[in-house]
A and B are shown apart, each in its own frame.
Chain A
């Protein structure tokens, strides 16, 4: 019990004094996951729209597949990306393994299914009568897509928030492709909140873990707050 209290006290000190070690890890987590979310958004929204409004064979099966991939284990994604970007892998020449870029790629792949799936849900959730109205008003294809997305904007933003939440909370992929490196430069290191908590706890550095954990929790809760607010619109 004493260890926990002592740990919390020390953690508070680390956070309040903006301890550089802790802060750089937090910043890295946010940057990596944010970039991954943006990348995934740029892909999943057009992709989701294409699938939702498309008519092609196997469309339902594709949607089912995407929904199954929601629960893709993070370590599997990590393993997959690892095999692809390792020097002996097909993309080895890019020397991406053990870099923050690798983590961004892995997290993008990780959240892509859920963001695409939720975008599809959001778009299909737009009432048929709204879609009919748009067609009836003489919308071009582009005007139609833009306005349906506008109607679904809150659900789509929820998808983005969910994606970010998943990305920043995962540890399996980040450790496998990042290597949990603490280097002397910001961009050479690949230690994030999750991988750092994992390491520090197993080594018994409780105050560090608590500090990092508190920040991660705050971020996750913040994201969830945004999500619930959106859903009430």
Chain B
């Protein structure tokens, strides 16, 4: 549905996007996540034809509107966009939502029906004559969403649509996005800095870093099998350890991480510089070495115990700093505090190895 081919965008001397290539399939929900300033908004604007790429091509439904300007109006009218800042015109809610239909020359009766329909869908039935600027942030954003939905676009683009909104509005809008995709098959592309939102809603996630997609995959792939240390850090893998493959064969490697030897499954051979990604949930802490064969067991000293909701995050220095998440009960049961000597263990399967650099 949407193809980005080697897209680059420079503002002056700053390159925001560089050599970005991706495909977004029709009918899917695609989330773009990435750190602030990574170019998420820029990419969405380029797709929506609000800006032109410095290099590369973007095709929507097969048509490259940047190259063929006569197509641009037709292509733009296939897409709807909702911006991060609620953008409502200084008029009534009805007028706001109706405007796209007016642009397309629809008749008054048709407009009335469609507008009332879509207002019902976003939960703003009866708001027609209210002045849009007097609504709350969440309500305004729903008006913006209604305005984009009412023109029945094939593609809906949303730039951080729930940023700065109250949780109720966030839930409402997420629900709408989900239903829109399910009931009408609308292709949805949204950017968010809340990776859990991306995980909740999207079929596929693209991690935008340094102007390119560092990884594109299902939420599970991205979160549990990050493609690089940067992606790992971004998706919240707490433990990223750098090392060099000491020996590797048959898919199993031994990695030397600053003197500590760790066993993991990886395709890399000796001498490769790698990063090891281990989720905190996969690391167990015991008072003594449980000596389960095959597991990595590293003795160390607890350097901090930090509460996190009903859990505690325990950081242990065992030559490298590793964190584990335990429930308070478990932590208390082990009787550990700062300075306790413990043994950290984790299975080789829990270690996700990526090439470094």
Contacts and interface: CB of A to CB of B under 8 A. Distances in A.
Direct contact of A and B (CB under 8 A): yes
Given A132-B45, A132-B50, A147-B99, A137 B151 contact: yes
Given A130-B87, A140-B73, A233-B90, 18 more contacts: A127-B85, A127-B87, A130-B89, A132-B45, A132-B50, A132-B81, A132-B83, A133-B87, A136-B48, A136-B50, A136-B148, A137-B99, A137-B103, A137-B147, A137-B151, A138-B76, A147-B89, A151-B90
A181 B63 CA distance: 69
Interface string B79-93: 111010101011100
A10 B81 CA distance: 67
Contacts of B89: 130, 147, 150-151
Interface string A120-160: 00000001011011011111100100010011000000000
Interface in B64-115: 73, 76-77, 79-81, 83, 85, 87, 89-91, 99-100, 103-104
Q: Closest 7 A-B residue pairs measured CB to CB? A: A138-B77, A129-B87, A136-B81, A137-B100, A133-B87, A138-B76, A129-B85
Contact of A129 (B83, B99, B104): B83
Interface residues of B, number: 24
A149 to B, nearest CB: 12
Nearest to B80: A136
Interface of A: 127, 129-130, 132-133, 135-140, 143, 147, 150-151, 233
Contacts of A143: 103
B147 to A, nearest CB: 7
A184 to B, nearest CB: 51
26 contacts: A129-B83, A129-B85, A129-B87, A132-B50, A132-B81, A133-B83, A136-B48, A136-B76, A136-B79, A136-B81, A137-B80, A137-B103, A137-B147, A137-B148, A138-B73, A138-B76, A138-B104, A138-B151, A139-B103, A140-B73, A143-B103, A147-B99, A150-B89, A150-B91, A151-B89, A233-B90
The residue in B77, B90, B144, B148 that gathers the most chain A C-beta atoms within 10 A of its C-beta is: B90
Contacts of A136: 48, 50, 76, 79-81, 148
A135 B83 contact: no
The residue in A129, A136, A143, A147 that gathers the most chain B C-beta atoms within 10 A of its C-beta is: A136
B75 to A, nearest CB: 9
A123 to B, nearest CB: 14
Nearest to B102: A143
Contacts of A129: 83, 85, 87
A133 B85 CA distance: 11
Nearest to B99: A137
Contacts of B103: 137-140, 143
A135 B87 contact: no
Contacts of B147: 133, 137
A130 B49 CA distance: 15
A16 to B, nearest CB: 43
Contacts of A137: 80, 99-100, 103, 147-148, 151
B107 to A, nearest CB: 17
Contacts of B104: 138
A130 B48 CA distance: 14
Contacts of B45: 132
Contacts of A138: 73, 76-77, 100, 103-104, 151
Contacts of B100: 137-138
B327 to A, nearest CB: 45
Contacts of A127: 85, 87
A151 B91 CA distance: 8
The residue in A130, A137, A140, A233 that gathers the most chain B C-beta atoms within 10 A of its C-beta is: A137
Contacts of B49: 135
Contacts of A151: 89-90
Contacts of A130: 87, 89
A139 B76 CA distance: 9
A140 B50 CA distance: 13
Contacts of A139: 103
B45 to A, nearest CB: 7
Nearest to B101: A137
Contacts of A140: 73, 103
Contacts of B144: 133
A150 B79 CA distance: 24
Contacts of A147: 89, 99
A139 B48 CA distance: 13
A233 B91 CA distance: 11
A139 B100 CA distance: 8
B132 to A, nearest CB: 11
B55 to A, nearest CB: 21
A150 B76 CA distance: 22
A145 to B, nearest CB: 13
Contacts of B50: 132, 135-136
A150 B102 CA distance: 15
Interface string B136-152: 00000000100110010
Contacts of B85: 127, 129
